Amino acid sequence: MSVDNKKLKDVKDDVFIDRIEKLDTLSDEHIEADHIESTAASKAAWLIAMTVSIGGFLFGYDTGYISSVLVTIGTSLGHELSTSEQELVTSLTSGGALVGAVFAGLVADKYGRKMPIYAACAVFVIGTLLQAAAFHLPQFAVGRFVVGLGVGSAACICPLFIAEISPMRYRGRVVAFNNMSVTLGQLIASAIGAGFAQVQGEAWRGTVAIGGLPPIVLAILLMFCPESPRQLIAHGRTELADACLLKIYPTSTPETRQAKIRSIEASIHENTGSLADESIWKSTKRIFTTPATGRAVLTACAIMAISQLGGFNTLMYYSATLFGLVGFANATAIAIVVSGTNFLFSIVNLVLVDRFGRRAILKVTVLGMAICMLIAAVSFHYIPINTKTLELTSDVTGWPAVLVLVCIICYVAFFSSGVATIAWIGTELIPTEVRAVGTMINTVTCWSTNIIVSSTFLSMMKGLTPTGAFGFYSGICTIGWIFVMFCYPECKGMPLEVIREVFQRGFGVGYSKQWQKENAAFAKANAMGNVNFGH
């Protein structure tokens, strides 16, 4: 069969010209869309973030008070809780959170970001009432699971919602604010728990019951918050999206807002057609069949797994138990030091994350976590502990106990200023068309690994000895540091619609470095008035 080479050449030329024109159009739209980010953002984004972050506070409070409750609950549930029963009531919240995260992730694209948060508020209240009024272990356990449903929904949707309404330049800080709310909740839970521990009777019920007030406040304030503009655009509600963008960028022009809307629409429709019409199965399948999307979700989930398997929640859930084990008399009060350190260094992350970037912070802090756990593991070798009963065999612990305390505090500082927050900022890596489902998988990773840690810690302390358990956590942190070095790209300052390009090139570490250099050069030239910055 013969081919007309001239006609074939003409066709190729026409296709080439069409592609060039399309690329020019898209480039102009991206530049115009990015102009909105250079306009002054209002306080609305922060006010919305502060409201949604009440969900983060609840996440922290309801996971934080169990440490003090375990050492003060006594026989309130009919008998002294055994080691396995303590692990059960601790891990049940994580189990509920896993289920809650799945629910929230499955409905967030179809029904919006606000609906799962309203559902979380309802189950927070129900779970709190079940626990506070419990006189038997089964009811208390059910209450812990129900509260977990709310914790999972809040942990999944709140960072996602906040990231989608945040200005590009402040996205890391605004999402970090949600994590700071988590640590504040844990700190207040520890403080209230320590206070009620000094009260005779069943004062632990007061610690639990206080957790029923914030979800009511959140549900009321959420009514005044707009839906995510990206969610509105995905469902064709562009007028509401324009109004939301105007609220966040009050000095923007109609042209820049429309350009931003077109940019988001292009991002959504590039691979999916219509996010509103796409089934959950198709969205989930896309993650496993599209290599770039799969790498993005894998990276986010790997950092989340490191944050949990590295051992932090053993300190949060069992800090009072652990400090009592190494010989501190007022273990509940000393546990406040852990929560306080966690809160203070979450503020450090808030200040640094958009300045130095995610990758640089992870490189330093994850290595610091590994070293602290290693030193703690060695120190435990010199503390006289009966591994069968987890009780001291001597009243004298000396310097090893102090060194364990110092290592734990330093570990918490590294954790809170690094991976604790960046694991949730990781939702920025996930493409728009699968962000809700990808965030669900990320949150499921959080709680499934959390269950592993919280349900095995005391058993590991007995089976592997404290030295072996903390050595294991040190090894996990070391593996995490290696992953960060070779696989975690720097995405600070990138529009959410641009981050997808990073994972088109493997894990994109080299590409993201080059982008940051070019971005800095453009920004510097723009500041000098030489170019109109739209990179």
Residue 277 has pLDDT above 60, yes or no: no
- pLDDT above 90: percentage of residues in the chain: 28
Report the range of poorest mean pLDDT among 183-187, 212-216, 266-270, 477-481: 266-270
Torsion angle defined by CA atoms of residues 305, 308, 309 and 311, in that order, rounded to the nearest 10 degrees:
160
Dist. CA 236–CA 217, nearest whole Å: 31
pLDDT at 8: 39
| pLDDT computed for residue 529 by the predictor | 56
Specify the higher pLDDT residue, 464 or 34.
464
In this predicted structure, what is the pLDDT of residue 223?
92
Q: Where does the pLDDT of residue 527 fall: very low under 50, low under 70, confident under 90, or very high at 90 and above?
A: low
Q: 415: closest CA among 374, 457, 373, 365? A: 365
HEC string of 211-244 equals HHHHHHHHHHHHCCCCCCHHHHHHCCCHHHHHHH
Indicate the range of 405-414, 478-487, 516-525 predicted with least confidence: 516-525
Interval 221-250 mean pLDDT: 87
Q: Is the pLDDT of residue 52 over 70?
A: yes
Q: Poorest-confidence range of 8-22, 320-334, 481-495?
A: 8-22
Confidence class of residue 9 from pLDDT cuts 50, 70 and 90? very low
Q: Is the pLDDT of residue 532 over 90?
A: no
Query: Which one is the CATH code of 42-225+279-504: 3.10.510.20, 3.40.190.150, 1.20.1250.20, 1.20.1090.10?
Result: 1.20.1250.20
pLDDT of residue 172: 81
- Is the confidence at residue 207, as pLDDT, over 60? yes
How far is C-alpha 192 from the geometric centre of its chain's CA atoms?
25
Q: Which of 44, 361, 339 shows the shortest CA–CA distance to 174?
A: 44
Three-class DSSP labels, 58-92: HHHHHHHCHHHHHHHCCCCCCCCCCHHHHHHHHHH
What pLDDT is recorded for position 274? 46
What's the mean pLDDT in 138-147?
A: 94
User: Hey, where are the domains in the chain?
Assistant: 42-225+279-504, 509-535
The pLDDT of residue 392 is 72
pLDDT in tens, 417-445: 999 989 988 888 988 778 778 888 888 89
Residue 329 has a pLDDT of 63
What's the pLDDT tens digit per position in 77-113?
A: 989 888 888 888 888 888 898 899 888 888 887 788 8
From CA 224, how far away is CA 367, in angstroms rounded?
42
Asked whether the predicted pLDDT for residue 26 surpasses 70, the reply is no
Whether the pLDDT of residue 361 is over 80: the answer is yes
pLDDT value at residue 320: 65
